[in-house]
């Protein structure tokens, strides 16, 4: 298999107040008949990525019922798979920790690339274009990015790039920044690098933005690149953004 997609869908959505009291944020209704996670799942299948793991945690019942066998996204075929990965006897303590605790699942798939996605963003994207750039740059990690308003940089991982799109600086949710190029929470890893860095960094609350990405930028050269996405994208993690985007 070339690409395995992992969707991080265990978020509590505490900034959404009472809206997420009975279900996880990715399972919340959107635009009437949809759920927030539908956009990421549709992006995967429209990008010909049919092997998907969904990492759930907070109040997963509504999300599990919604996903079912994956039939609405054509994921119930013989050559496709959608797997719900819930924590057992432990709790995911960070975004990268969630992936680390599912390494056995990933290893069974033997992917060349692992595409890590957020389950709570609204956008339409062909991931094949990002994968193609990753190959052309001979990258080990490619991060999807988009400029955000300067007053919103505190909500995102913010990076600076050179004229080759190589990421030279990264700061997780800074109060202010000279750059406004934000991480979209979409990471394409060479699997062997991902596995190595997850096992090497000893951190209980292991997180991509706080630990993995800064470590790789500091220790690798010409291997971490940005892929700038130029279409509509919205992180609906706050009450106001959720309502306005609807």
Q: What integer pLDDT is reported at residue 158 of this predicted model?
A: 95
Residue 223's CB: how many other CB atoms inside 10 A?
18
pLDDT in tens, 174-226: 998 899 999 999 999 999 999 999 999 878 889 999 999 999 998 876 799 99
For 100-124, what is the mean pLDDT? Answer: 93
Q: CA-CA distance, 198 to 162, in Å (whole number)?
A: 27
Q: What integer pLDDT is reported at residue 200 of this predicted model?
A: 92
Q: Which two tokens stand for residue 107?
A: 């290893």
Does residue 89 carry a pLDDT above 80?
no
Does residue 246 carry a pLDDT above 70?
yes
- CA atoms within a 13 Å half-sphere pointing along the CA-CB vector of 81: 15
For 107-128, what is the mean pLDDT? Answer: 94
Q: What integer pLDDT is reported at residue 18 of this predicted model?
A: 53
Q: What integer pLDDT is reported at residue 22 of this predicted model?
A: 59
Q: What integer pLDDT is reported at residue 6 of this predicted model?
A: 97
pLDDT in tens, 140-170: 999 999 999 999 899 899 999 999 999 999 9
Q: What integer pLDDT is reported at residue 61 of this predicted model?
A: 65
With bands split at pLDDT 50, 70 and 90, how would you rate the model's confidence at 64? low
Q: What integer pLDDT is reported at residue 11 of this predicted model?
A: 60
With bands split at pLDDT 50, 70 and 90, how would you rate the model's confidence at 240? confident
Give, for 229, the enclosing helix (H) or strand (E).
none
209 torsion bin: left (phi>0), alpha (psi -120 to 50), beta (else): alpha
Q: CA-CA distance, 54 to 221, in Å (whole number)?
A: 31
Q: What integer pLDDT is reported at residue 85 of this predicted model?
A: 86
Does residue 57 carry a pLDDT above 90?
no
pLDDT in tens, 8-56: 986 654 555 555 555 667 878 788 788 888 899 999 999 999 999 999 8
Q: Which residue has the higher pLDDT, 97 or 239?
A: 97
């Amino acid at each position: 298999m070339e690409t395995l997609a992992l969707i991080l869908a265990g978020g509590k959505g505490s900034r959404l107040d009472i809206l997420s009291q009975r279900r996880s944020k990715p399972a919340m209704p959107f635009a009437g008949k949809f759920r927030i996670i539908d956009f990421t799942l549709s992006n995967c299948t429209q990008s010909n990525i049919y092997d998907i793991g969904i990492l759930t945690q907070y109040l997963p019942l509504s999300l599990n019922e919604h996903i079912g066998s994956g039939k609405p996204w054509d994921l119930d075929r013989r050559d496709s798979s959608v797997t719900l990965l819930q924590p057992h006897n432990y709790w995911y303590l960070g975004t990268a920790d969630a992936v680390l605790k599912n390494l056995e699942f990933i290893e069974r798939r033997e992917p060349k690339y692992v595409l890590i996605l957020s389950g709570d963003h609204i956008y339409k994207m062909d991931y094949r274009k990002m994968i193609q750039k990753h190959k052309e740059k001979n990258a080990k990690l490619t991060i999807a990015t988009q400029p955000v308003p300067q007053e919103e940089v505190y909500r995102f991982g913010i990076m600076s790039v050179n004229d080759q799109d190589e990421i030279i600086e990264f700061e997780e949710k800074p109060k202010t920044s000279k750059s406004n190029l934000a991480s979209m929470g979409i990471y394409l890893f060479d699997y062997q690098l991902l596995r190595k860095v997850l096992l090497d960094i000893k951190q209980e609350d292991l997180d991509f933005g706080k630990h993995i990405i800064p470590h790789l930028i500091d220790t690798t050269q010409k291997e971490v690149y940005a892929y700038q996405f130029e279409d509509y994208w919205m992180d609906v993690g706050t009450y106001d953004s959720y309502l306005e985007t609807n």
